[in-house]
Structure 1
Amino acid sequence: MLRVSAPTSDELRRWRRHLADERAEAAVYRDLASRRTGEEREILLALAEAEGRHASHWEELLGEHVGEPRRGDVRFRVLAWLARHFGSVFVLALAQRAEARATYEADVDATPTMAADERIHEEVVRALATRGRNRLAGSFRAAVFGANDGLVSNLALVIGVAAAGTSTSVVLLTGLAGLLAGALSMGAGEYISVRSQRELLAASTPSPDAAEALPHLDVDANELTLVYRARGMSAEDAQQRADEVLADIALLGPASREFHADTRVEEHEAVGTDVGAALSSFCFFASGAVIPVLPFLLGLEGGVALLVAMVAVGVALLATGAVVGLISGGPPVQRALRQLAIGAGAAGVTHVLGTIFGTTLG
């Protein structure tokens, strides 16, 4: 980029910041690539190379003013540390948000190509993060639902019973019973849910026996057309595809792979395993449900115990909400506050009901 005047101090400061950020972002992608193989590694290295080209643009603008290497923005430094030590979908979700905040469209010294690159990078990282989300979605869903159900339901139970005027020992016993009953119920329910879904998907998967019958079909009647029509193709497309498959079989022999490749049944990685989901749901429900009863287990009583329980649960709800926001690519603060509001609402309702029942029964 040709300039007719010397850069101002503000421009130099902005260019150096961009240069540091691009270098840091390239390091994040290289660190992530070092923990992966195959196609994902190649994609991440290509992203790092693109960030390197952007860094070269700012180096060229700075020229002799490039100065000593600066540290990138704190979010990139955090990302780099996480990528080196974890390299998980969590880091990709954070990188997706970082790409979404790119401001090159509004920077007169950035090229249109650089601005377009950043937008495309966001979609590339989104796709990579989606792969990771799909791989962990079953267990992650069970973990999040289990922890939040444990936090909210047991806090509501403890507050409701305490508001009715019962003794500390009864509140503690109720909380422990709620923990055990809820964890067992969540684990059993998650097992049945995932198991049933996997059985449903298995029932929808094409039978290999059908592929073996293809060479013996009547070419004129071509029953294979009905298969493709049942899978959602139009009559014309189904006829064309069936003719192609039978023609390939005539030339190459049985080709079950081609037959199965046309199925519309998706492989649902997000379903997860039934036992894994059940154990995850049980453990995370229990880990969440134990927090409201911890103050009572530690010997606290009355209002002090309830206050400590509410604060502890509030912090836990904020944390789980923020994690869900980061993993899903949403705003973590908003998700955290939403979780807190839901928990507070449930606790408030049960407190009111417990007070009413306690007054009525008392």
Structure 2
Amino acid sequence: MNAPSTPANPSAAPPREPSAADIKRWRQYLADERAEASVYRDLAGRRTGEERDILLALADAEGRHEAHWLELLGDRVGKPLRGDLRTRILGFLARRFGSVFVLALAQRAEARSPYAADSDATPSMAADEQIHEEVVRALAARGRNRLSGTFRAAVFGANDGLVSNLALVLGISASGVPTHVVLLTGLSGLLAGALSMGAGEYVSVRSQRELLEASSPNPRTRTALPDLDVDANELTLVYRARGMSPDEAAAHATEVLRDFTVERDGGDAGALDEAREEGVDRHETVGTAWGAAISSFCFFASGALVPVLPYLFGLQGTTAVIVAAVLVGVVLLSTGAIVGLLSGGPPLRRALRQLGIGYGAAAATYLLGLLFGTALG
């Protein structure tokens, strides 16, 4: 008969009894993990292929964290709690939109994980949350690349319209001219600026795309492969021009020709088109010329309309100036926060930065208007 086993460390202290605050915190962690897993499953339901698999894997990881808190709570789980407000909003957006905005918010949520500072969470859980942030960042980056060209034009257009027309309207108003002159000036600034922004964006994006196209390989070059001199192998020069060493280029060229011989229908289809694939990604990031132009025109016009609204509704003098400034401030805060969310940065800081820049430009023009008005008077 075996002797009864003894503890490996008799002097070790027994596990501490959790306090009411501990239990409350664990229950909230449990609710948050369940809510985050639900967010990832909702996002996965709107995607296919690799992105869907990655999001479901993230949901499974949150399930492992959920199991940890369930084990600590034991029979103290109690009535299920709701996730925190931020996670609930994230879930609402994920179920209805599933866009890059939701991924950007999820990225920030993962970055704020408290597990690294909580001794009741395991080191692996804290590490998981750090890795989750990078996974979500990479997924969000795909969406950012898809919309960055048009979005860039939209944000720049709206901000330029807001700031430039607010500055124009305030400067003219401060000079003491009649209200109808301020209104006419504001509408003229709206139209002129929107046309200028649209044309500028079209030329800019079109030129950038043409430069990218000129730098991308010609796919028809592959038709020359069957007739290449295997001994001379001019294909080596292609890869050397792309940055490979002579030995690497020769080895890669030989491999491409061998594969092409075996598979006459294309062989290594990506070998010659590597740079073209990169070019497609870069084209996608830049956006289309017409898309950028139309977005820039529309958003500049919509932004430039905001400072004119008080005058359109019959307000005059100081009242119109204050209302215009307040309306523009609200929109600047909103666009700054959106840019912050998409970029993964702090929304409040980006919003205040936009507000400060916009108000600074408008204040400078208003002061100049006062000076000109005084001089002319």
Provide TM-score, normalisation by structure 1. Answer: 0.96
Question: Secondary structure of the residue that 1:118 maps to in structure 2?
Answer: helix
5 Å-filtered alignment, 1:62-81, equals: 62-81=73-92
The offset of 1:222, in angstroms, is 1.5
Whole-Å separation in 2 of the counterparts to 1:208 and 1:272? 22
Number of the residue aligned with 1:263: 275
Whole-Å separation in 1 of the counterparts to 2:238 and 2:209? 23
Number of the residue aligned with 1:331: 346
Match of 1:97 among 82, 96, 108: 108
Number of the residue aligned with 2:368: 353
Number of the residue aligned with 2:316: 301
Q: Residues 158 and 66 from structure 1, CA distance in 2 versus in 1: closer, same or farther, beyond 3 angstroms?
A: same
Question: Secondary structure of the residue that 1:259 maps to in structure 2?
Answer: coil
The offset of 1:256, in angstroms, is 6.1
Q: Residues 319 and 262 from structure 1, CA distance in 2 versus in 1: closer, same or farther, beyond 3 angstroms?
A: closer
Q: Please give the per-residue CA displacement for 1:136-157, whole angstroms capped at 9, x wherever unaligned.
A: 1111111100100000000000
Q: Please give the per-residue CA displacement for 1:57-98, whole angstroms capped at 9, x wherever unaligned.
A: 100110000001001111101101111111110010000000
5 Å-filtered alignment, 1:134-283, equals: 134-253=145-264, 254-255=266-267, 257-263=269-275, 265-267=278-280, 268=282, 269-283=284-298
Number of the residue aligned with 2:144: 133
The offset of 1:3, in angstroms, is 6.1
Question: Secondary structure of the residue that 1:70 maps to in structure 2?
Answer: coil
Larger Rg: 2
Match of 1:36 among 36, 44, 47: 47
The offset of 1:56, in angstroms, is 0.8
Question: Secondary structure of the residue that 1:175 maps to in structure 2?
Answer: helix
5+ unaligned residues in a row in structure 1: which ranges? none
The offset of 1:261, in angstroms, is 3.9
Whole-Å separation in 2 of the counterparts to 1:67 and 1:3? 24
Whole-Å separation in 1 of the counterparts to 2:129 and 2:183? 54
Whole-Å separation in 1 of the counterparts to 2:112 and 2:54? 21
| Contact persistence 2:153–2:293 (CA under 8 A) | yes
Whole-Å separation in 2 of the counterparts to 1:301 and 1:329? 41
Whole-Å separation in 1 of the counterparts to 2:175 and 2:248? 68
Q: Residues 3 and 133 from structure 1, CA distance in 2 versus in 1: closer, same or farther, beyond 3 angstroms?
A: farther
| Contact persistence 1:211–1:259 (CA under 8 A) | no
Structure 1 residue runs of 4+, over 6 Å off?
none
5 Å-filtered alignment, 1:46-65, equals: 46-65=57-76
5+ unaligned residues in a row in structure 2: which ranges? 1-12
Whole-Å separation in 1 of the counterparts to 2:80 and 2:36? 14
RMSD (Å) for aligned C-alpha atoms: 1.5
Whole-Å separation in 2 of the counterparts to 1:320 and 1:95? 19
